[in-house]
Amino acid sequence: MDPRNLLTALRDQKPLVHCITNYVAMNVAANVVLAAGASPAMVHAEEEIAEFTPICGALTINIGTLSAGWAASMKTAVRVANDHNVPWVLDPVAHFISQYRKGVAQDLLALRPAIVRGNASEILALAGEAGEGKGADSGDAVEAAENAARTLASAYGTVVAVTGPVDFVTDGTQTAKVSGGSAIMPSVTALGCSQTALMGAYAASGPAFDAALATLAHFKVAGTKAAEKAAGPGSFQVHFLDALTATQPSHLASAIA
Q: Is 106 in the site for a copy of itself (CB under 8 A)?
A: no
Element (H, E) at 6: helix 5-13
Q: Which of 6, 115, 190, 201 binds a copy of itself (CB under 8 A)?
A: 190
Residue 4 CB, nearest approach to a copy of itself (Å): 21
Q: Which of residues 198-257 bind a copy of itself (CB under 8 A)?
A: 230-235, 237-246
**Dist CA 151 CA 144 (whole Å):** 11
Q: Is 105 in the site for a copy of itself (CB under 8 A)?
A: no
**Residue 10 to residues 38, 52, 187, 243, 248: CA-CA distances in angstroms?**
6, 20, 28, 16, 12
Residue 96 CB, nearest approach to a copy of itself (Å): 10
Sign of CA dihedral 104, 106, 110, 115: positive
Query: Of 192, 119, 123, 130, which Cα lies nearest the Cα of 151?
Result: 123
Q: Is 94 in the site for a copy of itself (CB under 8 A)?
A: yes
Comparison of 129 and 242: residue with beta carbon closer to a copy of itself? 242
Residue 21 CB, nearest approach to a copy of itself (Å): 9
Comparison of 138 and 189: residue with beta carbon closer to a copy of itself? 189
**Dist CA 153 CA 204 (whole Å):** 19
Close Cβ partners of 144 (under 8 Å, ≥ 6 residues apart): 120, 124, 129, 131
Q: If binding means CB under 8 A, how many residues of this protein chain bind a copy of itself?
A: 55
Residue 32 · residue 198 · CB < 8 Å: yes
Q: Is 42 in the site for a copy of itself (CB under 8 A)?
A: yes
Stretch that binds a copy of itself, among 95-103, 107-115, 120-128, 167-175 (CB under 8 A): 95-103
| Contact positions vs a copy of itself (CB under 8 A) | 22-28, 30-31, 34-35, 40-45, 47-48, 51-52, 55, 64-69, 94, 97-101, 186-190, 230-235, 237-246
